[in-house]
Chain A
Amino acid sequence: MKKVFSYIMLPVLIVLAFYSCSKDLGNYDYTDANVITITTDMANVDPAVVINNDSLVVKQNDSLKVNILISQTKPSNDLAYEWMIIQNSATIGNPAQYIVGITAQLRTKIILSPNLYKLVVKVTDKTTGVSFYKFYSLNVDTSPWGGEGWVVLQDQAAQGCDISVITTRDGVARGNIYSNVYSLANGNKLPTGTYKMNVLNYNNTLRIQKVSFFYPNGGTQVRSTDYLDSSCSNGWFVNLPSVVNFESTSVGPVNGSYETMINNGQLQYQIVNTNTIKTPPVVFGAPLIGTWPSLSPYFMFNSNSSYCTFFDEVNRCFLHINMANNTLIPTNLPDVANQHWPAYSGAGGATNLTATGKGFDLNNIGRNLIYSENAQLMDGAISAPGYYCIFRNSANDSTFLYQFTSGSTGIANNAISGRYFLKDAATNVTGINTASIFAVPAFTASSVSNAFYYVPGNSTNSIYVCNPSYTGTMPATTTSHLGYSFPAGTIIKTMKVFKSGYTTPPSTESRVLVVATDETANGAGHKVYFFSLTATGEINTTPANVYTGFDKIVDIAFKKGLGF
């Protein structure tokens, strides 16, 4: 047995002992990895596309060529490249066109929707596995008429309706006119009777813009970059309303999340944000039914949340709704017509509500709302912007301006000023009782503009500037004056103050009045005028620009550049 151990087991154990021990030849010297620096080869690119080392602009369906230069601290030829396009905002998913190249120099075709993206190039040293990145701002552009400009909706009689685009923001720089761009995209016209055009800008991180048209018994949404039809109103609702009578639509300012619509006097809304778009369909909910038989088609949003004030045009009182949970504010009061707010509590009591008073009771306006627009900039800094509301009595012989201050919760029913009687007289507010076209500027975020414009129904070629005032003997203290007069026979069709929707308003924000006219009686056709406004709201009588060559103008709207 000893021999068995000596000859068999012992050699095996000895061999195993040697086998398990070997010299460690590992390298424990630490050396720096190859550091790669990526820059753009500006000498070999199209300067119209590669704007600088970090910015690219390319039109949809165009090719994109980007050459990069690589510098390395430890030059290696074993590099891997990957080019990716990602969303500009981290909260949104990556676009469909994601990895676009794996070579050093990018050669690809951009088929993404026009928008702002990021192009990323990743260079990996395969010997170390370490990657280095460079990010570009990639602006996928569209046709000139798909970008920023004023959209002009026109009635082309038997043919139907179509739109033109004036590629100017504020009339300061002269733009081009692109005509019939709806039919250019779709091969057909908008239905005859199309009466309203809407451009809505959702939350700017979402980078979605909605353009839609309303016509009798329906509506159409188009892509904002080329006006190609994208949906019809049958698919806009969780339950299609039994009566389709689209009156107005809007979206909450600044945060651009709550999209509202008044259909046949009832409020419906949908929430469009980074969460809801992940669980489509995003559609208008059921109407908020309450003691209000019919709401006026005006939205008085607070600056950046879900709160919005409406006017019950039957009971003629204000309502304040939190759309986040469909509740009336204040929440402690039941839904009773003319009792949605606490009883009027203005200092001085009911005297404020008499004919010579200046206050008003939110529960009992007792007049019809003719028009409403914000008179204070809504940049998000001021949560409760003021609105100018034009009221008129049922006999159409008395018109009033009410300054309503919006808000979220806690809007007090105690206004002791803000109601102005607009007496229709040559020395007061001439023609106001027949006016149906209004526009309100908003010069600052800190106070209301103290001016509005109107076109008397009996003088349709004139724009009057009205400055509400308590100077004089109550109640008829406010006066107006002629701001601009077009040639006799001109019919002003519509006018709007330039309110851009940009988070950071441009310097011309609310300093431009855009007016559409029908001058066919003078053989001058249909025109769009851009007037600059002074800081006090006066109209510069020399138009900044005039655009001609339109068909009968129905509506105008500013469409800001996508992604801004």
Chain B
Amino acid sequence: MKKEIIYIIIFATVLPFAACKEDVPTIFAEPDGIYFSAPADSITYTFAKYPTRLSDTLRIPVTVLGKPTDKDRTISLEKLSGLDINGTEGVHYKLLQPYTIPAGKVSTMLPVVIYKTGDMDSLSFNFKFQLKANENFISGISAKTSLKIKVGYLQKPPTWGDLTGLQWAGYSTNMGTWTKTKYKVVLDALYDPVSDTTVSEFPFSRFGPPVVYTQYLQLVKNYIRTKYPGNYSIPRGIGATLRDPDNKDSVIQVGPSNY
């Protein structure tokens, strides 16, 4: 029995030493990876924000999962197809291949030219790219090796709302029901030639919006009154008049809206 106790004590003494072993750092020997470093899995662009532009260049961020090297490294990018992909290369967008990660860098922007086409009045277009493994890179973060681009123009902003809703733009005292024609006149009215931009998005809530949006509403109203006096004349239609084919040819009035 004594022997058993001695064995137990020896075993208990040796065990802690056996459990401890120096942790030697592993060497990272894998090839560099690459991934899209956009904050989400898609990028949305609307020409509504830039109503005078016929094309624009998106800059898509990519990042290397690894170290910089002393020479440029080619990136392989391919377009994907699918049920939700309706954009056509050469019509809605153009890739400016070849794309490279410059020497000494671990990130870059891939320029993709997008075009405003006539069909964007009624449709938005989607296209999707995939980063492919090549002699320089393997796929980086698997969830970030593909990226969807959504390009539109005269689509109803998600924050517009409707006549009786809680959102600001569509509420009856403001812009009213969204239509393509009305949205186009709003974009034109709020266009700022200095910044070459317009206001295409509006506050989510009609309660306590930033005061500047009330001022925007008056700018749109003044634009319509000045450019289309027939929209406010009594009777309507005296002088230039802008009617809305998307709403029974009604004249367009905002602040308050007539439909």
Partner-contacting stretch, out of A157-165, A284-292, A364-372, A384-392? A284-292
Residues of B within 8 A of A286 (CB): 215, 218-219, 221-222
**Contact between chains at B222 and A289 (CB < 8 Å):** yes
The secondary structure that dominates the B interface is: helix
A522 within 8 A of B: no
Contact of A4 among B4, B217, B234 (CB under 8 A): B4
A476 CB to nearest B CB, Å: 39
One digit per residue, 1 when the CB lies within 8 angstroms of any chain A CB and 0 when it does not, for chain B 195-208 equals 00000000000001
Residues of A within 8 A of B6 (CB): none
Partner-contacting stretch, out of A176-184, A224-232, A274-282, A414-422? A274-282
**Contact between chains at A326 and B1 (CB < 8 Å):** no
Residues of B within 8 A of A238 (CB): 212, 215-216, 219
Complex CA distance for A239 and B220, rounded to whole angstroms: 12
**Contact between chains at A271 and B211 (CB < 8 Å):** yes
One digit per residue, 1 when the CB lies within 8 angstroms of any chain B CB and 0 when it does not, for chain A 256-288 equals 000000000000001100011001001101111
Residues A448-502 near B (CB distance < 8 A) = none
One digit per residue, 1 when the CB lies within 8 angstroms of any chain B CB and 0 when it does not, for chain A 297-341 equals 000000000000000000000000000011100000011100000
A14 within 8 A of B: no
Complex CA distance for A39 and B221, rounded to whole angstroms: 60
**Contact between chains at A282 and B211 (CB < 8 Å):** yes
A283 CB to nearest B CB, Å: 8
**Contact between chains at A326 and B218 (CB < 8 Å):** yes
Complex CA distance for A327 and B218, rounded to whole angstroms: 11
The secondary structure that dominates the A interface is: loop
B241 CB to nearest A CB, Å: 16
Residues of B within 8 A of A287 (CB): 218, 222
Complex CA distance for A341 and B232, rounded to whole angstroms: 18
B120 CB to nearest A CB, Å: 28
**Contact between chains at A279 and B219 (CB < 8 Å):** no
Residues of A within 8 A of B234 (CB): 334, 336
Contact of A327 among B208, B226, B256 (CB under 8 A): B256
Residues of B within 8 A of A96 (CB): none
B225 CB to nearest A CB, Å: 5
A28 within 8 A of B: no
A-B contact count, CB below 8 Å? Answer: 50
B8 within 8 A of A: yes
> How many residues on chain B are close to A (CB under 8 Å)?
23
Residues of B within 8 A of A279 (CB): 210-212
A21 within 8 A of B: no
Residues of A within 8 A of B8 (CB): 4, 8
Residues of A within 8 A of B256 (CB): 327
B255 within 8 A of A: yes
A7 within 8 A of B: yes
**Contact between chains at B5 and A326 (CB < 8 Å):** no
A333 CB to nearest B CB, Å: 11
Q: Report the contact-size class of chain A (Cβ under 8 Å from the partner).
A: 20 to 34
Complex CA distance for A4 and B5, rounded to whole angstroms: 8
B107 within 8 A of A: no
Contact of A289 among B216, B217, B225 (CB under 8 A): B225
Complex CA distance for A7 and B222, rounded to whole angstroms: 98
Residue ID in chain A nearest B5 by CB atoms: A7
A275 CB to nearest B CB, Å: 7
Residue ID in chain A nearest B214 by CB atoms: A285
Complex CA distance for A325 and B4, rounded to whole angstroms: 94
Residues of B within 8 A of A239 (CB): 219
Residues of A within 8 A of B219 (CB): 238-239, 285-286
Complex CA distance for A115 and B217, rounded to whole angstroms: 36
Residues of A within 8 A of B173 (CB): 325
A293 CB to nearest B CB, Å: 12
Residue ID in chain B nearest A237 by CB atoms: B215
Residues B222-236 near A (CB distance < 8 A) = 222, 225-226, 232, 234
Residue ID in chain B nearest A335 by CB atoms: B232
Residues B1-47 near A (CB distance < 8 A) = 1, 4-5, 8
**Contact between chains at B4 and A288 (CB < 8 Å):** no
Residues of B within 8 A of A7 (CB): 5
Residues of B within 8 A of A4 (CB): 4-5, 8
Residues of B within 8 A of A282 (CB): 211
Complex CA distance for A290 and B226, rounded to whole angstroms: 10
A3 within 8 A of B: yes
Residues of A within 8 A of B255 (CB): 326
Contact of A3 among B1, B212, B215, B217 (CB under 8 A): B1
> Which of A3, A285, A335: most chain B CB closer than 10 A?
A285
Known contacts A4-B4, A7-B5; is A285 also within 8 Å of B215 by CB? Answer: yes
Residues of B within 8 A of A288 (CB): 218
Residue ID in chain A nearest B189 by CB atoms: A286
Residues of A within 8 A of B210 (CB): 279
Residues of A within 8 A of B217 (CB): 326
Of the A-B pairs whose beta carbons lie under 8 Å apart in the complex, a sample of 6, sorted by A's number, is A270-B211, A279-B212, A285-B219, A286-B218, A287-B222, A326-B217
Can you name 16 extra interface pairs (CB under 8 A) apart from A286-B215, A334-B234? A3-B1, A4-B4, A7-B5, A238-B216, A238-B219, A275-B208, A276-B211, A279-B211, A283-B215, A286-B218, A287-B222, A288-B218, A289-B226, A325-B214, A326-B214, A336-B234
Taking beta carbons and an 8 Å cutoff, which residues of A are in contact with B?
Answer: 3-4, 7-8, 238-239, 270-271, 275-276, 279, 282-283, 285-290, 325-327, 334-336
Ranked 4 nearest A-B pairs via Cβ: A285-B215, A286-B218, A286-B219, A238-B215
